[in-house]
Amino acid sequence: MNRIVGTGMAVPPCVVDNHLLSRCMNTSDEWIVQRTGIRERRVSPDTYRMLQRLAEAPDKAAFMKSVFADGLDGKIDSSMTVSDLALQASERALENAGLTARDVDCLVVSSTVPDFAYPHPGCVLAGRLALTSTPAICLQQGCAGFVYGLAIADQMMRGGMYRQVLVVGAELLSTIFDYTDAGRDMAVLFADGAGAAVLRAEPGPRGVLSSHLHTDGTTYEGLSGEIWGTSTYPPVSKRKFDEDRMRPRMNGRQVFVQAVRHFKEVVGECLAANGVGIGDVNRFIFHQANMRIIEAVGEGLRIPSDRLYNNVERYGNTAAASVPIALHEAREAGLVKDGDLVLLAAFGTGFSWGATLIRW
Ligand code: ACO
């Protein structure tokens, strides 16, 4: 079986609470807490600096437009990239497992917004870990990225290809949102962070029991972003920017309905495949999309609330990073113990969703 033997996480030091967002856009702490459960989130130092300036700006829309057009204070190079967070989380997971990067046979990294359009962030992370021949695979699987990554790593290990794999989810999503009224539906939800886990093949009954993955490709426009995509020619142009096609788009109600439905289905599928019921699972660690989605799934499946680990209140939705961050925190808090049944589940852009059951 393939067991998680180390976890780690990293978030930027800059904390943005709902009150700061309320000074940038027409929203309130009450609205955000009631609809999402989020009280604060971590963002890159660049986003933080921008938000402080936006809060003071008399014309928010004009200021935000100037940032997208010219950068902040005439500077467009980032002070933090997604691989900075991926590296920190990976180093912590490796240390936690008592390993160095060279002990790992493969990296599986998931990220929505990479450092570069190419090579992918798994490659950049490998370089920053000073790895010169370890294969690095990258998934752009949105919020389901870590669950997909774990499943792929587990299957490669079951096939005997690798013995130790580092699985990472890392995001720097705050850098792509419009924090004025125009983008408020998404900007209050998403944030930055990274989480990582080391999977090791070991004899015995502990480890990943099964993974179940799905994608509905017909719904991809429900949560999408064109940014540098080839949906336009050329991929990045002034016109794309002027026509507001750089900004991520979300159909909030569709996401909500589909997320609740598919979370419930895939959890049921995962439990049935292993011949166990809700009551047998010691800890449910769901993608921290927003508290209302998690509560609706929990209520629908009759999951006792003390078996759900949630931290969306402190970090917001960190997409591919949210499951490994929550897993790491739950483990650190002693909420995941040897022999426990732990169920991970996620849903995100695509829509793609999946679940994994682990005997810890
Ligand atoms: N602050 C204040 N008002 C806002 C904000 C905001 N940040 N964002 C949107 N609104 C407004 C809308 O403009 C709309 O106004 P209108 O009625 O004048 O058109 C109104 O709020 C919508 O209000 P409600 O209908 O009460 O909101 P709803 O209950 O639909 O909640 C929400 C909206 C929170 C986006 C909900 O649809 C939702 O949770 N969707 C899921 C989105 C999600 O979690 N995405 C995560 C990404 S995918 C994933 O990780 C699974």
β partners of residue 165: 106, 199
In the residue annotation, 24 being an active-site residue is answered as: no
Question: What is the spatial distance between Cα 82 and Cα 320, in angstroms, rounded to a whole number?
Answer: 12
> Which tokens go with 103?
């002990």
Domains recognised in the chain with CATH numbers:
208-359 (3.40.47.10)
Contact present, 229 and 140 (Cβ < 8 Å): no
Of 14, 24, 123, 143, which one is the catalytic site residue? 143
Whole-angstrom Cα distance, residue 228 to residue 63? 22
Give the span between the Cα atoms of 326 and 286, in whole angstroms. 8
CA of 32 from ligand 1 middle (Å) equals: 9
d(CA 266, CA 167): 21
pLDDT at 268: 98
236-246: pLDDT as tens digits:
999 998 898 98
Q: Which atom of ligand 1 is nearest to the CA of 346?
A: 51
- Residue whose CA is at the smallest distance from ligand 1 atom 47: 289
Within 13 Å and on the Cβ side, how many CA atoms surround 196? Answer: 31
| Average pLDDT rounded to a whole number, residues 126-155 | 98
In angstroms, the CA 46 to CA 144 distance is 26
Residue 74 has a pLDDT of 87
User: Which residues make beta-bridge pairs with 40?
Assistant: 17
CA of 67 to the centre of ligand 1 (A): 25
Indicate if the pLDDT at residue 186 is higher than 90. Answer: yes
Whether the upstream peptide bond of residue 119 has omega within 30° of 0, thus cis, is yes
Residue ranges around ligand 1 (CB below 6 Å): 27, 31, 35-36, 143, 184-185, 188-189, 223, 250, 252-253, 255-256, 259, 287, 289-290, 292-293, 317, 347-348
DSSP 237-306: -HHHHHTT-SS-EE-HHHHHHHHHHHHHHHHHHHHHHTT--GGG-SEEEE--S-HHHHHHHHHHHT--GG
295 vs 278: CA distance, rounded Å:
15
The vertex-162 CA angle with 158 and 165, nearest 5°, equals 100
**Per-residue model confidence as pLDDT tens digits over 58-103:** 999 999 999 999 999 889 999 999 999 999 999 999 999 999 999 9
- Average pLDDT on 120-127 reads 97
pLDDT for position 235: 94
Residue type, position 296, single letter: A
**To test ligand 1's pocket by mutation, which of 256, 260, 287 has the most ligand atoms within 8 angstroms of CB?**
256
Ligand 1: distance of its center to the CA of 250 in Å?
9
b/e for 282-299, b at 16 or more Cβ within 10 A? Answer: ebbbbbbbbbbbbbbbbe
Q: Catalytic one among 120, 212, 262, 287?
A: 287
Q: What is the pLDDT of residue 258?
A: 98
Q: Tell me if residue 9 falls in helix, strand or coil.
A: strand
Residues 6+ apart with CB under 8 A from 298: 284, 305, 308
For position 4, what pLDDT does the model report? 98
Residue closest by Cα to atom 25 of ligand 1: 253
Helix ranges, 107-205 (H)? 121-128, 145-158, 184-187
Instruction: Name the closest-CA residue to atom 5, ligand 1.
Output: 185
Known catalytic membership, residue 287: yes
From ligand 1's centre to the CA of 281, what distance in Å? 32
Give per-residue pLDDT as tens, 141-174: 999 999 999 999 999 999 999 999 999 999 999 9
Q: What rounded mean pLDDT belongs to the chain?
A: 97
pLDDT (average), residues 168-194: 97
Nearest CA to ligand 1 atom 12: 185
Q: Taking Cα atoms as reference points, which of 71, 12, 61 lies closest to residue 41?
A: 12
31 by Cβ neighbours in 10 Å (0-12 / 13-18 / 19+) ranks as middle
* pLDDT-above-70 percentage for the chain: 100
315 C-alpha to ligand 1 centroid (Å): 18
Q: Ligand 1: distance of its center to the CA of 21 in Å?
A: 15
Between CA 289 and CA 319 the distance in angstroms is: 7
Protein residue with least CA distance to atom 20, ligand 1: 185
Could you read off the pLDDT of 211-263 as tens digits, one per residue?
A: 999 999 999 999 999 999 999 999 999 999 889 898 899 999 999 999 999 99
Structure tokens at 138: 């990258």
Question: pTM for the whole thing?
Answer: 0.97
Residue 143 appears among annotated catalytic residues: yes
Q: What is the mean pLDDT of residues 294-305?
A: 97
Is the pLDDT confidence value at 7 over 90? yes
